[in-house]
Structure 1
Amino acid sequence: MSALDSLPHGPEFRFVDELTDLDPGKSARGTYAIRGDEGFLAGHFPGRPLMPGVILVEAIAQLGGVAAQSDPEVPAVDGLLLTGIRGAKILGAAVPGEVLEISATVEGRLGPMIQVAGEVTVGDRKLATAKVMLSGQ
């Protein structure tokens, strides 16, 4: 079982294809290749598809969840969900054929609440930054 298997999402809504680095319970780096056949791209925008900024933030949350749930010292949180977004900035756009590079760092935990900071880049272009709150039962 890979750490990505801790994601509760179906394959159609996973925005991390591969883990490139994992410091269990602390941080992770991963990638997502924008294929171009994702259903939401057909309408965002017809003839000029762009990866939605909210999905860039979702990718940070998903990768943060992988990092947090992999902590060997802390039991996994049941029902972990994205429950808050702070300080999100959408700084650029990505298009089909590009590979998102995602990073997430667990900044703190309080019981079933986890704060994560992350960013998404393509090469040297920073596309998004955000702090997200994940929580569960």
Structure 2
Amino acid sequence: MLDIQQVMHYLPQRYPFLFVDRVTEIEKGKRIVGYKNVTINEQFFQGHFPAKPIMPGVLMIEAMAQIAGVLGFYTYEKSPETGHLYVFAGADNVRFKRQVVPGDQLILEAVATGSRRHIYKFSCRALVNGELAASADIIIAEQTL
């Protein structure tokens, strides 16, 4: 539903810190599904770990926060281009269930669960081949540039 150019309209992150390649489903104000293709070319694999490359858990959390940010921007028709920014404000109930390695496609899901005074909460999951890799309740805060 949103290609990489459209994703980059909603997210200020760029290489090497952009972790959403495409959005495949989006329901304004409710939920979003997208993915990150994980390749051996990722910079973080140079050090995590050279002999057995594994995507760092903190980057899975960042990917979930980014997909949640796309849903927020899309829902409220805002973007960095309109002078708005969503920043990562917190994560609760974080769990890691499976390693993510080069060649995996990380499916990212976020469901909007609440908002209050420019603070938004999402229930997020990251999956590989239908298997849960990570989950978290992500909190993002809106800021103006």
Same fold (TM > 0.5): yes
- 1:26/1:68 contact within 8 Å kept: no
- The answer to whether the 8 Å contact 1:83/1:134 transfers is yes
Of residues 2-11 and 54-63 in structure 1, the stretch that sits farther from structure 2 once superposed is 2-11
1:108 aligns with 2:83: no
| 2:88 is equivalent to residue 82 of structure 1 | yes
Question: What secondary structure is seen at the aligned counterpart in 2 of 1:13?
Answer: coil
How many residues are paired up?
135
Q: 2:11, 2:77 → 1: CA distance?
A: 15
Give the aligned partner of residue 46 of structure 1: 50
RMSD of aligned Cα (Å): 1.5
Kindly, what percent of the aligned residue pairs are identical?
28
Q: Do the aligned residues in 2 keep the contact of 1:4 with 1:66 (CA within 8 Å)? A: no
Looking at structure 2, the residues matched to 97 and 75 of structure 1 have their Cα atoms a distance apart, in angstroms, of: 34
* Mapped partners of 1:25, 1:14: distance in 2: 22
Map Cα deviations across residues 84-104 of structure 1 (whole Å, 9 max, x no partner): 110100111111011011101
Taking structure 1 as the reference length, the TM-score comes to: 0.92
1:94 to 96, 100, 110: 100
Q: Are positions 1:26 and 2:11 aligned together?
A: no
Contact 2:110 2:124 in 1 (8 A): yes
Per the TM alignment, residue 125 of structure 1 is displaced from its structure 2 partner at its CA by: 1.6
Deviation per CA, 1:77-129: give whole Å up to 9, x if none.
72210011101001111110110111011111112100011100101321000
User: Which TM-score applies when normalising by structure 2?
Assistant: 0.87
Unaligned 5+ residue runs, structure 2? none
Correspondence for 2:132: 126
